[in-house]
Structures are given as C-alpha cells and as structure tokens.
Amino acid sequence: MRLFLAGLAAAAVLGIPAGPVAAQRIQLVRVGLLVGRPEVVLSADAPLRVLDVQSDRQEQLSVGAWVFRASPGGIEIPGTARYGPLVRVSAEGDRPVRVEDKLRAYRGVVELRRDAAGMTVVNELDLESYLYGVLKMEINPAWPPEAVKAQAVAARTLALASLGRFAREGYDVRDTTDSQVYGGVTFEDPRATAAVDATRGLVLVYDGQPILAVYHADSGGRTESSENVWGRAYPYLRGVEDPFTAGSPYERWTLSVPLPRLEEVVRTAGLPARGVSWVEVAEVSESGRALRVRFGGPEGTWELSGHRLRALLGPDVLRSTLFTVRVEGRLATFEGRGWGHGVGLSQWGARGMALRGWDFTRILQHYYTGVQVTAR
C-alpha cells in the first residue's frame, strides 16, 4: 500500500516546493492478513518483541517459531505466556516477522487481535514500505520505469483513499484484490522499490484531496467512466481513448460458456431463469462495454448488468465487459477485449505510453482527468 518526497530533484522536475523531510508525517497502513485463525505461528531471524496492549507488558522471545493461540478472553503462547485480547509483535533490529511460513514475511508490526472466531492478523507498517510489497504484485517491474512509477503513484494514492475502509474489522485494507494485492517482503523487487523511492510521497489529488486511483490491466482501447461500473460518477474517472495497449495478451480473447451454466449464474443472482436459450447485449456504454445483458427462453427474459455478470462468472473468467456474445447450439461465446473493470489507469496502456517516451506524470494525467501530482 515516511510520506515525503525522495529528493529536491524530483520536486524541481514536478514544480513542487520541496520542504524539510523532518516536517513530513509518517503515514501508517494497517493490512488485514488473516481472519478467524485459532492459532498463528510467528518467527524471525532475531528475537521477537511482544507487547500486551491491555497490560502494557513487554517481553522478548528468543529466536525461533512461536505458536500464538486464541484462548478464552485473550491470546496465549501455550505453556509460556498469557496475554490480553490485543498483542503487537515485532523483531529486534526491525527484521521482518514471518507469519506461518517463510513465504509470508512482513516489515513493521504484526498485530494479533482476538476476534469471535479466533484471531485477526494485521500488519501495521509505513505507507512506503507497504508499497514495496504491493508493486510487484500489481505490475511487472521489468516494464519501462515510467510505467512502474505511474503505478507506484496510483497505488500510493489508492492506499491513502482506502484508509479506514475496513475499520470495523480492525484494519484499513486487505492483502487481496479487495484492496491491492500485497505480498510483504518476500515479493519485493529492487526495480519496484526504485519506483516507489523515486516517487516517494507523490500522490494524485483532485480538488485538494487524494483520489480513488483505481486501475486495471488493459482497457481494450478505451477506459470506462466510473458510474457505468459502480454507479457513482467521479469527475476524475472519465472514459478516455487508450490506443496504447498494443502487445497486450488481452487485446483479444474468447470465452465459451454452456447455456446451463449461464442459467445457473442468472439464478444465483436471484432471478427465476429457466430454459435459457439465447443471450444478447441489451445496452452498451460509450466505451462499448456491456451495461445490460439479456437472457431469454420460452419462459421469459431476465437481465443482469454486465458488471454483475462478470462478478458472478468470475473476473478472471469473463475478463472484461467489453464483449459481444453469440449463441450456437447450447454454447454462448463471448468475444472481448481487455482485462479488468476498465476504470482509471490501464497498466498495459501505461507501458505503451512509457515506450513512447511519456513520463509518469503525463501518463497519470491522461487516465485521471483534471488531477495534479503533488507531494503530501
């Protein structure tokens, strides 16, 4: 998902007044990793420091793997220690803390919160370190640096706009596509880290506020306006032409779905579909995406939004709503372009722009209408 500009040179290039680093506020992000776990194994390559928040008791655990288990009214290390319902664990020397196995290691603090089903595991760390663990998961760090920088600024801005989204669960964001995919230290990459550092503290603002800087893999040639996906019109999330995605593996795709499967999907949506024998796109948006999809047969017709149909089939199955559909026999064939909801930055488009020599600011201002890139 240390909010300050990396250096005077970056500020000068963007025309941003450079202030003293010490005056900038460190922004923390709380990432939900696991929920309802009866026990969690934590370890590190250094002693663990444990803080029992309820009693303010602190202690140190030797190097090794330690089992933390949900107990009545709190959390315990069986046979070793009992704590209250909130425990914060970090490692000496700011070493990463491993959760469950060596493939899940995190900077900052790992917090264990007693919940109704067990424990919620939260990683609290500064925003820039969070981004180190996000970027490789969301974009290919081997792509042109300006495209990766554009992704870094968008990801930083989206993280800021998402703070508190899951506050009732005890964290800000999740480590999945519900927020941004976050893999921690194990999935950091030097090229992605360089992009984060080169844009340190830079965010996208509209009317003085960080924007909802959503992004997707490939627009298919034109991005979508937000209201056609989520029902709300954001002034900076307007559909724009995107002729820069050449070379994308998602430029054209085909998906065949048996009609009984589509009928099952329609029924899952709560509609009494029966005997579906044909499918058509009933309405498209300005970008050509399916706003409404109609299903019919001898016993009636039923409609779903294109966005709802994609969600029910699976966003990795029906790659976008930029499609046409035809029925042959008992099979519906979707022919489409792009991958993702189509709103905001297109990653493959950003790659194409960077290959043409566009810098990250110009890329971002193409996809997000009327925004400024500024330091916070």
The candidate with the shortest Cα–Cα distance to 346, out of 233, 179, 223, 237, is 223
Query: How confident is residue 376, by pLDDT bands cut at 50, 70 and 90?
Result: confident
With tokens 């199955």, the residue in question is 317
Q: Residue 144 CB: number of other CB atoms within 10 A?
A: 18
Whether residue 361 is found in the same domain as residue 319: no
Per DSSP bridges, beta strands 209-210 and 300-305 are unpaired
The candidate with the shortest Cα–Cα distance to 101, out of 40, 39, 187, is 40
The answer, yes or no, to whether residue 182 has pLDDT greater than 80, is yes
User: How many Å apart are CA 342 and CA 344, to the nearest integer?
Assistant: 7
Tell me the pLDDT of the chain averaged across its residues. 92
The candidate with the shortest Cα–Cα distance to 139, out of 349, 359, 358, 368, is 349
Question: Which long-range contacts link 78-83 to residues 24+ away (Cβ below 8 Å)?
Answer: 81/50, 83/50, 83/52, 83/54, 83/55, 83/57
Is 234 within a domain? yes
Whether residue 201 is found in the same domain as residue 173: yes
| Number of domains within the chain | 3
Is 198 within a domain? yes
Please report, in angstroms and rounded to a whole number, the separation of the first and last CA atoms in the chain: 15
**Length in residues, the chain:** 376
Query: How confident is residue 24, by pLDDT bands cut at 50, 70 and 90?
Result: low
Is 163 within a domain? yes
The answer, yes or no, to whether residue 56 has pLDDT greater than 90, is yes
Residue 298, H or E segment: none
Instruction: Quote the pLDDT of residue 14.
Output: 29
pLDDT digits (tens, 9 = 90+) for 217-255: 999 999 999 999 999 999 999 999 999 998 999 999 999
Whether residue 137 is found in the same domain as residue 269: no
Where does 67-189 have alpha helices with state H?
A: 127-138, 145-162
Please state the rounded mean pLDDT for residues 64-73: 94
Please state the rounded mean pLDDT for residues 89-100: 96
Instruction: Quote the pLDDT of residue 246.
Output: 86
Is 14 within a domain? yes
Is 2 within a domain? no
Please state the rounded mean pLDDT for residues 87-110: 93
Whether residue 151 is found in the same domain as residue 20: yes
User: How many Å apart are CA 276 and CA 266, to the nearest integer?
Assistant: 9
Instruction: Quote the pLDDT of residue 102.
Output: 66
Whether residue 296 is found in the same domain as residue 217: no
The answer, yes or no, to whether residue 338 has pLDDT greater than 50, is yes
Is 290 within a domain? yes
Q: Which domain holds residue 291?
A: 253-336
Is 3 within a domain? no
CB 106 within 8 A of CB 97: yes
Percent of the chain with pLDDT over 90: 90
CB 354 within 8 A of CB 347: no
CB 32 within 8 A of CB 120: yes
User: Running DSSP on this structure, what letter comes out for residue 106?
Assistant: E
Query: How confident is residue 20, by pLDDT bands cut at 50, 70 and 90?
Result: very low
Whether residue 77 is found in the same domain as residue 151: no
pLDDT digits (tens, 9 = 90+) for 275-317: 999 999 999 999 999 999 999 999 999 999 999 999 999 999 9
Whether residue 230 is found in the same domain as residue 287: no
User: How many Å apart are CA 1 and CA 175, to the nearest integer?
Assistant: 9
Q: What is the pTM of this model?
A: 0.89
Whether residue 66 is found in the same domain as residue 192: no
Whether residue 282 is found in the same domain as residue 141: no
Is 29 within a domain? no
The answer, yes or no, to whether residue 4 has pLDDT greater than 60, is no
pLDDT digits (tens, 9 = 90+) for 110-132: 999 999 999 999 999 999 999 99
pLDDT digits (tens, 9 = 90+) for 360-370: 999 999 999 99
